[in-house]
């Protein structure tokens, strides 16, 4: 091949902003293809090519190259359920009966210490923790959610942010009669402000929101084409109370109110029977599975294998830091894979691939964002993570997905790219001052501690 040919072929090279090449690329595309010695090319906020490194290096001319030799590339993880600002209550009260935990510790602390500024700092701490453990999108619900929105805008992460709604006085909304107005105002303030930020409304539960409140909230969501979120069928107490008050189990109660559709996410779905699983599947709602929180609060074990078999769109969540107590989706994957095996007495249930797919494809589907998120494919948003495989606990390597679920941990994430931008490189966050955020949350905690 002479010089002119090389020149000519170089002229035909596709330009890209960033080319990342690693030992393995877990695409999580429909065929769950795994490429050895693969690469991903990014332009702007999108993936433009995925393929063998040797081919992409020939075809693509990138402004910047990220060498992930010895690493695995995969889509960023999706944390489908959390209350990010609750990082400031991490470890405040553990190992207590549920009612004592809620009424004597969490609610009083929230009543006193939840302010927009505290929500900003505590959410920013959560964002730092999530990015450092490979989460690139999270779905949140809390009060003073403007604080969370400012944290998301500042940090580079992607999020669905649900302003909390309950029928009693809440942080920031002392008069519950205006809870829906406040939620709608939040949606107005943030919709369309950033491609990384999707406002939402989070009705706390069927036992803290009246049917009127639930219907009103869903109407606002329909009008603005945003997601409606709710805690549903989390505990036996909720199941029994809902049956007593409304004559129906929680999922049926919501179905009767016309709230179950593809723009609704139900969190937990622990207390659901076969008929309800069918309802969840056919209505197209998203469901978050939060095994560590359900275990710690002794809520129960959600029928995950049945939900997956029925085709329910299930993603994984950590829940808030007060009931977990970290936001590491790697640990959640490991627990989800193991819990259902022992619960059903079948070691073939909840395979590593199924669980990893929940943390990527499943979360994206539940959010209604499958066309944009959850896999490494041309045209999708460039949200991806680099996992360092050159570590004792990831050696040797027979099957990448097995390592992802059963051996890896959040600390193994080396680099994180969200919306086409590198937000963490070699475990250093580029846009957030980690030490400042920790110092601010320690200050908030000092106040909480002295009042306990």
Q: For residues 278-297, which are near its own copies according to CB under 8 A?
A: 292, 294-297
Of the two residues 231 and 381, which places its CB atom closer to its own copies in the complex?
Answer: 231
Per CB under 8 A, which of residues 318..337 are in contact with its own copies? Answer: 324-328, 331, 334-335, 337
Per CB under 8 A, which of residues 144..163 are in contact with its own copies? Answer: none
Per CB under 8 A, which of residues 189..218 are in contact with its own copies? Answer: none
Per CB under 8 A, which of residues 346..375 are in contact with its own copies? Answer: 346-352
Q: What is the DSSP string of 47-99?
A: EEEEEEHHHHHHHEEEEEEEEEEEEEEEEPEEEEEE-GGGGGGTTSS-S--HH
> Count of residues binding its own copies (CB under 8 A)?
74
Of the two residues 62 and 445, which places its CB atom closer to its own copies in the complex?
Answer: 445
CB of 238 to its own copies, least distance (A): 14
Per CB under 8 A, which of residues 375..414 are in contact with its own copies? Answer: 390-393, 395-399, 402-403, 406-407, 409-412
DSSP class of 229: E
CA-to-CA distance for 96 and 75, rounded, in angstroms? 37
Whole-number Cα distances in Å, 205 to 215, 299, 318, 439, 444: 12, 15, 18, 34, 28
Among 97, 247, 311, 378, binds its own copies (CB under 8 A): 97
Question: What element of type H or E holds 190?
Answer: helix 179-190
CB of 138 to its own copies, least distance (A): 14
Query: Is there a contact between 51 and 92 (Cβ–Cβ < 8 Å)?
Result: no
CB of 374 to its own copies, least distance (A): 22
Q: Which residues pair with 278 in a beta bridge?
A: none
Query: Is there a contact between 74 and 84 (Cβ–Cβ < 8 Å)?
Result: no
CB of 451 to its own copies, least distance (A): 12
CA-to-CA distance for 354 and 260, rounded, in angstroms? 25
Is residue 90 a contact residue for its own copies (CB under 8 A)?
yes
The string over 100-114, giving b where at least 16 C-beta atoms fall within 10 Å of a residue's C-beta and e elsewhere, is: ebbeebbeebbeebb
Residues in the chain: 452
Per CB under 8 A, which of residues 8..37 are in contact with its own copies? Answer: none
Q: Is 380 helix (H, G, I), strand (E, B) or coil?
A: coil
CB of 447 to its own copies, least distance (A): 10
Is residue 306 a contact residue for its own copies (CB under 8 A)?
no
Query: Is there a contact between 200 and 224 (Cβ–Cβ < 8 Å)?
Result: no
Of the two residues 101 and 202, which places its CB atom closer to its own copies in the complex?
Answer: 101
CB of 180 to its own copies, least distance (A): 33
Q: Where are the alpha helices (DSSP H) in 233-328?
A: 236-246, 250-256, 274-283, 291-296, 304-310
Region from 42-50, 200-208, 222-230, 434-442 binding its own copies, contact rule CB under 8 A: 434-442
Per CB under 8 A, which of residues 114..143 are in contact with its own copies? Answer: 125, 128-129, 132-133
Among 95, 174, 426, 450, binds its own copies (CB under 8 A): 95
CB of 299 to its own copies, least distance (A): 7
Is residue 342 a contact residue for its own copies (CB under 8 A)?
yes
CB of 147 to its own copies, least distance (A): 17
CA-to-CA distance for 325 and 297, rounded, in angstroms? 11
CA-to-CA distance for 101 and 110, rounded, in angstroms? 12
Region from 12-20, 89-97, 179-187, 201-209 binding its own copies, contact rule CB under 8 A: 89-97
Of the two residues 114 and 297, which places its CB atom closer to its own copies in the complex?
Answer: 297
């Amino acid at each position: 091949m002479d010089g002119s040919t090389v020149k000519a072929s170089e002229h035909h090279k596709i330009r890209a902003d960033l080319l990342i090449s690693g030992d393995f690329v877990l695409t999580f595309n429909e065929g769950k293809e795994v490429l050895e010695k693969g690469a991903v090319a990014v332009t702007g906020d999108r993936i433009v090519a995925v393929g063998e490194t040797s081919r992409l290096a020939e075809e693509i001319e990138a402004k910047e190259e990220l060498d992930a030799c010895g690493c695995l590339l995969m889509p960023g993880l999706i944390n489908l359920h959390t209350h990010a600002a609750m990082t400031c209550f991490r470890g405040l009260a553990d190992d207590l009966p549920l009612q004592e935990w809620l009424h004597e510790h969490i609610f009083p602390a929230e009543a006193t210490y939840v302010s927009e500024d505290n929500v900003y700092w505590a959410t920013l701490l959560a964002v730092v923790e999530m990015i450092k453990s490979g989460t690139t999108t999270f779905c949140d619900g809390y009060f003073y959610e403007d604080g969370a929105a400012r944290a998301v805008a500042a940090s580079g992460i992607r999020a669905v942010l649900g302003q909390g709604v309950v029928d009693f006085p809440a942080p920031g909304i002392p008069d519950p009669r205006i809870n829906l107005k406040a939620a709608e105002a939040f949606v107005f303030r943030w919709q369309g402000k950033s491609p990384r930020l999707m406002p939402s409304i989070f009705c706390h539960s069927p036992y803290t929101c009246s049917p009127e409140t639930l219907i009103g909230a869903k109407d606002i969501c329909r009008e603005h084409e945003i997601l409606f979120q709710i805690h549903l069928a989390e505990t036996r107490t909720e199941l029994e109370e809902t049956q007593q008050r409304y004559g129906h189990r929680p999922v049926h109660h919501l179905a009767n109110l016309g709230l179950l559709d593809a723009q609704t996410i139900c969190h937990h779905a622990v207390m659901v029977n076969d008929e309800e699983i069918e309802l969840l599947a056919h209505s197209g709602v998203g469901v978050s599975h939060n095994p560590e929180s359900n275990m710690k609060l002794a809520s129960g074990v959600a029928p995950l294998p049945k939900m997956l078999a029925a085709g329910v769109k299930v993603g994984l969540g950590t829940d808030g830091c007060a009931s977990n107590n970290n936001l590491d989706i790697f640990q959640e994957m490991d627990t989800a894979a193991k819990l259902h095996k022992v619960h059903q007495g079948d070691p073939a249930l909840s395979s590593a691939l199924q669980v990893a797919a929940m943390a990527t494809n499943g979360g994206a589907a539940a959010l209604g964002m499958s066309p944009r998120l959850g896999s490494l494919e041309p045209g999708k948003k460039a949200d991806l993570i680099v996992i360092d495989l050159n570590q004792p606990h990831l050696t040797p390597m027979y099957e990448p997905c097995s390592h992802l679920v059963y051996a890896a941990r959040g600390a193994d994430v080396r680099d994180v790219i969200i919306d086409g931008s590198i937000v963490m490189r070699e475990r250093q966050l580029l846009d957030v001052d980690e030490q400042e955020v920790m110092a601010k949350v320690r200050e908030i905690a000092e106040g909480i501690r002295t009042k306990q």
